[in-house]
Structure 1
């Protein structure tokens, strides 16, 4: 069984710029929107034309990476902004990575519609 999140977007071109140009995912047209390819055969579906896109207050997609700090730094160099301590109920270190989540290091960001996304790495223990 194959699974992938469906993320509602209000403006497909703007979303593609963020997900492809900012996050570095590759995509292609799919009925009703855009299909993005991530590592290990995982995908994200962008569903276009929703005026209430971005209204979820929880992460709609999470990206597991080998090194969350290196990923955060790379994405910031591409202009991606991450959420800060005023926006989250977690302690963050100087990189904006969770400092109080056992077993995982997480950083939070928003897409152009405001949908919450995370990048994370598992840690020992």
Structure 2
């Protein structure tokens, strides 16, 4: 019944202008705005709806993952733009990178948040 639907995902933020600045200028995504909502246009061709919610509560899980070729390079570049990477005791190095591939625990990954507190990641699969 829905197999051919052009499905998409979305998440809320509490400040659309701050979200637009972050996703467009800091992360370098193509962003469009219509009816007070944002559409993030991803490199895969997928689109993500970002909608305002006055009583927004940040997601406690990763809402968007960005695969990258060189995680250290991307973390360094984003840090220079003011992005703060999460520090998880015993998991991350001083820059916020978890080197999962070194011990078979999964991908190399680093988590950060958008201005609304939603969790995002860059990872090398």
Distance 1:120 1:72 in 2: 10
Report how many aligned residue pairs link the two structures: 118
Deviation of 1:32 (Å): 4.8
Distance 1:115 1:54 in 2: 8
Among residues 66, 72, 88, which one is paired with 1:63 in the alignment? 66
TM (norm. structure 2) is: 0.81
TM (norm. structure 1) is: 0.81
Runs of 4+ in structure 1 over 2 Å off = 1-5, 51-55, 99-103
Structure 2 unpaired stretches of 5+: none
Partner of 1:92: 92
Partner of 1:74: 77
Distance 1:96 1:19 in 2: 20
Deviation of 1:3 (Å): 4.8
Distance 1:52 1:107 in 2: 27
Q: Root-mean-square deviation (CA), in Å?
A: 2.0
SS in 1 for 2:97: coil
